Amino acid sequence: MGLPAPVLEALSDFAQSAAPEAESTAEPSAHDTWIAAWNGAAEVIGQLERQASRVRTALDRFLSISSRKRQSGEGAIELDEAIRDLEGWERSLKETFLPALETLKQIRQDTFSLPGTTPGERAKAISAADRHAEAIAGILELLRDARWQLMALRAESEEPGDAPVFDDPEDLLRYLQATAK
């Protein structure tokens, strides 16, 4: 089964919202182009934040249902597939958006000394770059954390088999040192 449809839909919408827009080839003044770009970016950032919120809500609901079903033993939940799905989304979004985060850092840095702009315009641009970076970083953290929560849920509910299980990290360390000899 993997991830439920609401989670997949929210992730897909987020990926589309966060995709960079094609730039205009018209040649108005550099200042006008810069202002228009940041005004457009503010709309995209708002949409990105709303989509990230939808992903968070859908994942929270899925994690809650998964935990409840695992604890009560009602119905089988394919956690391995859901974990793989989350890892795939995380990897895909990282490949897409980590370069954007680097670009946003550079834009933010260059904005401080941008000629022909007012301090208010520069502050607005810096704020937009920060919000954009926070939305992207936030969704990547959310996916990572959700994946780890599912792995912890799986570990809690699986039989340990013949492998040793340790509650104390020091016991694990002693075991690993003994087997290494």
Give the other-Cβ count within 10 Å of 13's Cβ.
Answer: 17
**CA 168/CA 101 separation, integer angstroms:** 39
pLDDT tens digits, 126-168: 888 888 888 888 889 999 999 999 888 888 777 767 777 788 8
**pLDDT score recorded for residue 142:** 92
User: Are 14 and 89 within 8 A, CB to CB?
Assistant: no
Instruction: Give the pLDDT band of residue 29 (cuts 50, 70, 90).
Output: low
5: Cβ contacts below 8 Å, ≥ 6 apart: none
Give percent above pLDDT 70 in the chain: 87
**pLDDT score recorded for residue 76:** 62
The count of structural domains within the chain is 1
According to DSSP, residue 76 is labeled -
Residue 56: give the domain boundaries.
Answer: 5-180
Token duo for residue 44: 């995209």
**CA 127/CA 157 separation, integer angstroms:** 44
pLDDT tens digits, 38-54: 777 778 888 888 888 99
